[in-house]
């Protein structure tokens, strides 16, 4: 099973055919999208069109508290789903599917873009909702850094010169990813030694992607790790052009 998380700039309004190509090229079975803006509008909607063109025919549209929506599309039937908006800046989409003899909970999230304290509150809420004993993945745009990525000392001052404070003021903050780790969730890319930056891309239009950073993650519960085959961040001509983020793809056996 191939599971992808992808922040698609403004819903990939200009690059949707390339998203279809990406799903086919990477043989994606689950696509968790952040910034699915406008995807539920019109007949047929952009969500319906993408589902029909890719074969990801099961889907959940994550309405949110902002114009930045979420969407989860799958080849497999959905057993249960819920869109959580209370306590989230945007929303969080929870989807349960069958994976072998067990069920698998998929959390599609887009954490607060403002500051680490706000994101930490969302992380605390998320872990209160997750059953840590069940196979689970929390994935998406965390808008947060991980200390294990060993950013250069001068990054905080370089960001400050550009007026960027969302990652800290006096020093870089890693509270969110550290919190998830402390709660027993596993940063799969770090575990497998496959850390790769996910912003910026050549198509970047976000001033906050002012340096090479890893902002998009797959965190898994311990019970799922035995099923993990690999994780990757495809960087090629296609993903260079689709969005201002690169996707992250997790492969499960």
> For tokens 């850094």, what's the residue?
145
Neighbours of 29 (CB within 10 A): 19
User: Measured between alpha carbons, how far is 247 from 240 in angstroms, rounded to an integer?
Assistant: 10
**How far, in Å, CA of 102 to CA of 119, rounded?**
30
CA dihedral 202, 188, 181, 99 (to 10 degrees): 120
Structural domain of 102: 2-252
Could you give the C-alpha distances from 236 to 16, 242, 244, in angstroms and in order? 17, 10, 13
Helices 46-54 and 16-26: angle between axes, nearest 10 degrees: 30
Q: Name the nearest CA neighbour of 32 among 93, 81, 114.
A: 93
pLDDT tens across 189-217, in order? 999 999 999 999 999 989 999 899 999 99
Q: What domain count does the chain have?
A: 1
Give the pLDDT mean for 126-142.
97
Q: What is the pLDDT of residues 12-34, one digit of tens each?
A: 999 999 999 999 999 999 999 99
User: Which of the four pLDDT bands, split at 50, 70 and 90, describes residue 69?
Assistant: very high
How confident is the model at residue 34, as a pLDDT?
Answer: 98
What CATH number is associated with residue 243? 3.60.10.10
Name the pLDDT band for 1 (thresholds 50, 70, 90).
very high
Tokens of 245: 């983020």
Whole-angstrom Cα distance, residue 64 to residue 86?
Answer: 9
E strand segments, the chain: 2-7, 30-34, 58-62, 70-74, 80-84, 92-99, 102-110, 136-141, 186-187, 216-220, 228-232, 248-252
Element (H, E) at 48: helix 46-54
Q: What is the pTM of this model?
A: 0.97
Provide the pLDDT for residue 26. Answer: 98
b vs e for 214-232, b when ≥16 Cβ sit within 10 Å of the residue's Cβ?
A: bbbbbbbbeebeebbeebb
Q: Residue 16's CB: how many other CB atoms inside 10 A?
A: 17
pLDDT at 63: 96
Cis check for the bond before 26: say yes or no (omega within 30 of 0).
Answer: no
* b (16+ CB within 10 A) / e for 38-52: ebeeeeeebbbebbe
């Amino acid at each position: 099973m191939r599971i992808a998380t992808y922040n698609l700039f403004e819903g990939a309004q200009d690059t949707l055919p390339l998203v279809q190509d990406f799903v086919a090229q990477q043989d994606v079975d689950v696509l968790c999208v952040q910034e699915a803006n406008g995807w539920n509008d019109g007949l047929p909607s952009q969500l319906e069109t993408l589902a029909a063109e890719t074969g990801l025919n099961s889907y959940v549209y994550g309405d949110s508290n902002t114009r930045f929506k979420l969407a989860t599309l799958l080849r497999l039937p959905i057993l249960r789903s819920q869109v959580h908006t209370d306590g989230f800046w945007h929303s969080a989409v929870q989807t349960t599917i069958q994976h072998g003899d067990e069920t698998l909970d998929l959390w599609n999230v887009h954490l607060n873009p403002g500051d680490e304290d706000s994101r930490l509150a969302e992380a605390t809420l998320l872990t209160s909702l997750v059953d840590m004993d069940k196979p689970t993945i929390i994935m998406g745009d965390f808008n947060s850094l991980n200390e294990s990525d060993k950013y250069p000392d001068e990054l905080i001052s370089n960001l400050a010169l550009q007026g960027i404070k969302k990652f800290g003021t006096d020093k870089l903050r890693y509270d969110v990813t550290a919190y998830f780790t402390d709660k027993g969730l596993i940063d799969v890319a770090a575990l497998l030694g496959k850390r790769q930056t996910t912003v910026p891309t050549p198509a970047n239009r976000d001033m906050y992607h002012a340096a090479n950073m890893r902002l998009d993650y797959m965190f898994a519960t311990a019970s799922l790790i035995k099923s993990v085959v690999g994780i990757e961040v495809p960087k090629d001509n296609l993903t260079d052009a689709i969005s201002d983020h690169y996707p992250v793809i997790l492969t499960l056996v």
